[in-house]
Amino acid sequence: MDTIASYKGVVMKYQIFSIIVAIIMGLSGMPVGAQSSMNGANDIDNQPFTFTTFRDIAKQYSDSVVNISTTTVVKPSGMLQPRNRTPFDEFFGDDFFRYFSEPQTRPRTLQSLGSGVIIDTDGYILTNNHVVKDVDEVTVTLLNGDTYQATVIGTDSETDIGLIKIDPKSAVNPIPMGDSDIIIAGDWVMAIGNPFGFGHTVTVGVVSATRRSTVMPRDELPYQDFIQTDASINPGNSGGPLLDIHGRLIGINTVIASRTGQSAGIGFAIPINMVKPLLKDLKEKGSVTRGWLGVTIQSITPDLAEGLNLSSTEGAIIAEVVGDGPAAEAGIEAGDVILEFDGMKIRDSGHLSQVVASTPVDKKVKLEFLRNGKKKSADIKIGLRPGSDLQLHNTSGVSLDFGMTVQNISPEIARQLRLDSTAGVLISDVEAGGAAEKAGLTRGDIILELNRKPLKNVEDYKDAVSDLKSDEGVVLYVQRGKSRIFIGLRPASK
């Protein structure tokens, strides 16, 4: 009886509180719901959080979220191809990836589900790279049931962002972009998506943490700055929006941490501020061109800060400088501590990597740094990161398509791969169905020679390619693990 009386007391207090809130809102001339906050951009941040806030957001923006289904035809290989499990598997399940680990004898059609968010009235849709990359068909379904065949406009595997487009038959309702930099732990958020095929499912939670940078292995996802949330997201939510209490897009739901493959209350979204600088490249070129300083950097630990007589751990310390890179030309030295980049204060090494990568190539910026305890500055011209948007031409000016991306081997990569030197070039990506894949090359292979010419770096690689004829086959000397093999490769000319 005491328990029931106590329960009734709590209910009564809640009802009284609701009445008081309604009276206050009425006296202020403001509706109880948050719908009015969607109409005024000037005072949107001043609108209150009420009992109907999430209902109003769902009502206004559910039709801005799309369900994505993809179809992939897997050609038979007849070979056993093992793979390591990654957090991305949690979104798609074992069936989608099983063809990587079973011998194939006949073509298979694989289907998968994901989500996306409409970002403008032209029909551009943001989603994840792992939802739409290397698929044969992308089908988009809107809330009203309209179905479209979408075109993949661009993908970026290093942030896991994909951009697709439909040609809508009627007006669509894009979600406005917010500012993910102002989000802090404890803020309320809403996720909308397609979990387990149940389209336009709404879940609510809070921001559990920000700036999560070790969710995925760095060699799989180099640029990470995730928003962590306990809003329930499951397989199929991948690519859907994370919204703030004003209905603004602050993140793209990407991955979950779970031992069961289902929501365990730990989900991660790509901050929208990381996505914004990529959109122009994705729309115009289909890929992302990234800036490059030509340095190896590391974050400052408390012990390093004490040893270097630094007042805080903010900034990034230069561990190594590439001899012919932009930083070397600007006079940057190992041991310099970068404090500001182009007027932006640097938090840590991950932050510096992200801002440099999103800076246009050839832009001149100012670096503020400490050297031996003294503040200094330098102007630096941002270079093109090796392996980023690399175009290869022979002496006739014909573009040669190898279907792969290569990059220099930094001392850090050499240590990770336990290499004796940094000579050669590392294959960082292989295009599905391209010349490199057909020849048997894989990501992680190291090209030591091209037509028996030793390669020290990407520049040597480009020089060797420039001597090729448009229809000439090449012989690569490749290190794969502890073994070295020769592989014949014939580029496709453009």
Angstrom distance (rounded) from CA 293 to CA 389 = 16
- 259, 288, 317: which is the final residue of a domain? 288
- Does residue 195 lie within any of the structural domains? yes
- Does residue 419 lie within any of the structural domains? yes
∠ CA 258-214-230, nearest 5°, is: 45
Residues 205, 296: contact at Cβ < 8 Å? no
- Does residue 393 lie within any of the structural domains? no
Angstrom distance (rounded) from CA 157 to CA 170 = 32
What's the confidence (pLDDT) of residue 455?
Answer: 92
| Higher-pLDDT residue of 307, 355 | 355
| Three-state secondary-structure class, residue 337 | strand
- Does residue 391 lie within any of the structural domains? no
- Does residue 235 lie within any of the structural domains? yes
What's the confidence (pLDDT) of residue 393?
Answer: 52
Please tell me whether residues 76 and 6 are part of one structural domain: no
pLDDT confidence tier of residue 161, bands split at 50, 70 and 90: very high
What's the confidence (pLDDT) of residue 372?
Answer: 86
Please tell me whether residues 29 and 82 are part of one structural domain: no
| Higher-pLDDT residue of 202, 79 | 202
Amino acid at 494: K
What's the confidence (pLDDT) of residue 315?
Answer: 92
Each residue's pLDDT tens digit, 1-50:
444 444 445 445 545 555 454 444 444 444 333 343 344 344 445 566 77
Cα Rg of the chain (Å, integer): 26
Please tell me whether residues 66 and 27 are part of one structural domain: no
What's the confidence (pLDDT) of residue 406?
Answer: 85
Alpha-carbon torsion 175, 178, 183, 187, what sign? negative
Residue 249: how many CA atoms within 13 Å on its side-chain side?
29
Q: In whole numbers, what is the pLDDT of the chain averaged over residues?
A: 80
The answer on pLDDT for 321 being more than 60 is yes
Each residue's pLDDT tens digit, 349-388:
888 988 898 888 889 999 999 998 899 999 999 988 765 5
What's the confidence (pLDDT) of residue 338?
Answer: 94
Residues facing residue 207 across a β-bridge:
229
Angstrom distance (rounded) from CA 393 to CA 401 = 9
- 384, 415, 441: which is the final residue of a domain? 384
Residue 337: how many CA atoms within 13 Å on its side-chain side?
24
Percent with pLDDT over 90 in the chain = 35
Q: Indicate the pairing of strand 374-381 with strand 226-229.
A: unpaired
Angstrom distance (rounded) from CA 13 to CA 16 = 5
- Does residue 108 lie within any of the structural domains? yes
Q: Indicate the pairing of strand 226-229 with strand 267-271.
A: antiparallel
Q: How far is CA 230 from CA 205, 257, 271, in A?
A: 5, 11, 15
Percent with pLDDT over 70 in the chain = 78
Please tell me whether residues 104 and 197 are part of one structural domain: yes
Q: What is the pTM of this model?
A: 0.63
Angstrom distance (rounded) from CA 68 to CA 10 = 44
Angstrom distance (rounded) from CA 362 to CA 175 = 33
Please tell me whether residues 280 and 171 are part of one structural domain: yes
Amino acid at 396: S
Q: What is the mean pLDDT of residues 327-336?
A: 90
- Does residue 210 lie within any of the structural domains? yes
Any idea what the CATH number is for the domain that residue 167 is in?
A: 2.40.10.120
What's the confidence (pLDDT) of residue 12?
Answer: 53
Please tell me whether residues 45 and 69 are part of one structural domain: no
Please tell me whether residues 84 and 210 are part of one structural domain: yes
Please tell me whether residues 154 and 276 are part of one structural domain: yes
- Does residue 309 lie within any of the structural domains? yes
Provide the token pair at 136.
């044969």
Each residue's pLDDT tens digit, 398-451:
556 778 888 888 877 888 788 888 899 998 888 877 888 888 888 889 999 988
What is the DSSP annotation of 238-281? TT-EEE-TTS-EEEEEEEE--SSSS--S-EEEEEHHHHGGGHHH
**Which pairs from 99-103 meet CB under 8 Å and 24+ separation?**
99/74, 103/77, 103/78, 103/79
Please tell me whether residues 264 and 341 are part of one structural domain: no
- Residue 419, classified by CB atoms within 10 Å of its CB into exposed (0-12), middle (13-18) or buried (19+), is middle
Residues 271, 172: contact at Cβ < 8 Å? no
What's the confidence (pLDDT) of residue 82?
Answer: 46
Each residue's pLDDT tens digit, 83-112:
445 555 555 454 444 444 455 556 666 777
What's the confidence (pLDDT) of residue 220?
Answer: 73
Q: Residue 425's domain spans which residues?
A: 400-493
Amino acid at 152: V
Q: How many domains does the chain have?
A: 4
Q: What is the mean pLDDT of residues 274-285?
A: 90
- 235, 265, 288: which is the final residue of a domain? 288
Please tell me whether residues 256 and 198 are part of one structural domain: yes
SS in 3 state form for 13-33?
HHHHHHHHHHHHHHHCCCCCC
Q: How far is CA 478 from CA 401, 429, 460, 482, in A?
A: 19, 15, 15, 11
Each residue's pLDDT tens digit, 236-276:
889 999 999 999 999 999 988 877 666 778 899 999 999 99
Provide the token pair at 478.
């490749």
Listed in sequence order, the residues at least 6 apart from 264 whose beta carbon sits closer than 8 Å to its beta carbon are: 256, 257, 258
The answer on pLDDT for 81 being more than 70 is no
| Higher-pLDDT residue of 316, 258 | 316
What's the confidence (pLDDT) of residue 65?
Answer: 95
Please tell me whether residues 185 and 271 are part of one structural domain: yes
Each residue's pLDDT tens digit, 117-156:
999 999 999 999 989 988 889 999 999 999 999 999 999 8
User: Which residues does the annotation mark as catalytic?
Assistant: 130, 160, 238
Please tell me whether residues 284 and 421 are part of one structural domain: no
Any idea what the CATH number is for the domain that residue 298 is in?
A: 2.30.42.10
Each residue's pLDDT tens digit, 47-70:
667 788 899 999 999 999 999 998
